[in-house]
């Protein structure tokens, strides 16, 4: 059980830090909503700690240590950590799922860029689909088909976020658009990061990213009818609220450089109402054959991990390697810090 004070802290963190998820979470049943808010609070605060840090390596290594303590049953004395530890224990959360998020944040710490769309989706699987798989665990859903579609939804949401934040990311020195897309559009990555502009070519790439997201949203929808009935409105809401962000980008002429696309409260309210309507329809309409489509190659490891019922797994060799590189980078930095350089 999550302590009431810790739960209140998590609710506030999401209310102020993730308006879209906060809106969608209102339609989740309380036995799922509170653990979901705790999960999102831990993940959001971890992501912010890495994003907001000038030197990201120590932030990622600190998150690794926090996860180690959570899974040892001795969480750090902080509300989000204690709440997440309760979630891990109550729902037997497979360790591979938050570890995937940790790996994605480690890639951010290295400033990794992605050559192709599959490479980008491999990153999205870690920072977003892992959360979708964890949400299924909170709903007590371990069916592989439902998990695969939840992972599709995570991919779609993350592509939408990337499309919305192209300018903001570029000004922070981050670039997520596939490098081969930029090459095809004759856009130099270095020049773009130095002076991002919403050229016609860049707008076309933004539109292309959102087209990929829309296809993933359609695949993801097929899995919602496989979820418990009371959970469906909240997941439909998440699907429509996040897709609505993509719609706002489109209405801005696919210009994510000059301004950040936003949605308003009335729009969110409309999507919540639509989600209730679609839930009612899902009870009587036949399901989509897309439900049984294989998991994407980028997310198959998450589906396999979430389908298991043991929370105890050793870290993957790939994650161990990237964390070791971060430790080496951090050790190399410390003498310079002490020297005041």
Residue pLDDT, tens place only, 211-268: 999 999 999 999 999 999 999 999 999 999 999 999 999 999 999 999 999 988 899 8
User: So what's the pLDDT on residue 15?
Assistant: 79
Q: Residue holding tokens 């224990």?
A: 89
In a domain, 262, yes or no: yes
**Does residue 106 fall inside a structural domain?**
yes
Residue 107 lies in a domain: yes
How many whole angstroms separate alpha carbon 53 and alpha carbon 50?
A: 5
**Domain count of the fold of the chain:** 1
Residue 16 lies in a domain: no
- Which DSSP state fits 174? -
Give me 243's structure tokens: 């897709």
Q: State the CATH number of the domain containing residue 302.
A: 1.10.600.10
pTM for this entry: 0.92
Nearest-5° Cα angle at 313, 310 to 315? 155
**Token output for 150:** 């939840």
**DSSP H helical ranges for 252-316:** 265-284, 300-307
Our measurement of the distance from residue 226's CA atom to the centroid of its chain's CA atoms, rounded to an integer in Å, reads 21
Tell whether 302 is covered by a domain.
yes
CA distance 44 to 40: 6
Range of the domain at 269: 94-338
Tell me, yes or no, whether 88 lies in a domain.
no
Return d(Cα 232, Cα 29) in angstroms, integer.
10
Residue numbers of the chain with a pLDDT score lower than 50: 310-311
3-class secondary-structure state, position 115: coil
Q: Say how far apart CA 25 and CA 33 lie, in whole Å.
A: 6
The answer as to whether 63 is a domain residue is no
Q: Does residue 72 lie in a domain region? A: no
The number of angstroms, rounded, from the C-alpha of 315 to the middle of its chain's C-alpha atoms is 20
């Amino acid at each position: 059980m999550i302590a009431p004070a810790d739960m209140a802290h998590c609710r506030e963190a999401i209310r102020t830090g993730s308006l879209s998820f906060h809106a969608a979470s209102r339609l989740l049943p309380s036995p799922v909503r509170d653990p979901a808010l705790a999960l999102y609070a831990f993940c959001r605060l971890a992501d912010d700690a890495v994003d907001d840090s000038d030197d990201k390596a120590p932030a990622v290594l600190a998150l690794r240590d926090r996860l180690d303590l959570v899974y040892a049953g001795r969480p750090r004395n902080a509300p989000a950590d204690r709440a997440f530890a309760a979630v891990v224990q109550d729902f037997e959360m497979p360790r591979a799922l938050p570890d995937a998020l940790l790996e994605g944040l480690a890639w951010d710490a290295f400033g990794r860029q992605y050559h192709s769309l599959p490479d980008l989706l491999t990153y999205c699987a870690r920072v977003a689909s892992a959360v979708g798989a964890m949400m299924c665990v909170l709903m007590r859903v371990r069916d592989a088909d439902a998990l695969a579609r939840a992972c599709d939804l995570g991919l779609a949401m993350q592509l939408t976020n990337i499309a919305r934040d192209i300018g903001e990311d570029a000004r922070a020195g981050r670039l997520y658009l596939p490098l081969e897309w930029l090459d095809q559009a004759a856009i130099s990555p270095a020049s773009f990061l130095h002076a991002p502009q919403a050229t016609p070519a860049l707008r076309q790439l933004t539109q292309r990213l959102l087209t990929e997201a829309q296809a993933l949203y359609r695949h993801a929808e097929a899995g919602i009818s496989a979820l418990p009935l009371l959970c469906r409105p909240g997941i439909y809401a998440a699907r429509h609220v996040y897709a609505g962000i993509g719609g706002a980008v489109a209405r801005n002429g696919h210009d994510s450089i000059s301004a950040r696309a936003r949605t308003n409260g009335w729009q969110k309210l409309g999507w919540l109402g639509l989600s209730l309507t679609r839930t009612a329809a899902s009870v009587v309409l036949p399901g989509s054959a897309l439900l049984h489509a294989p998991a994407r190659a980028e997310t198959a490891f998450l589906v396999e991990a979430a389908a298991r019922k043991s929370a105890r797994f050793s870290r993957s060799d790939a994650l161990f390697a990237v964390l070791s590189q971060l430790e080496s980078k951090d050790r190399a930095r410390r003498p310079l810090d002490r020297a005041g350089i």
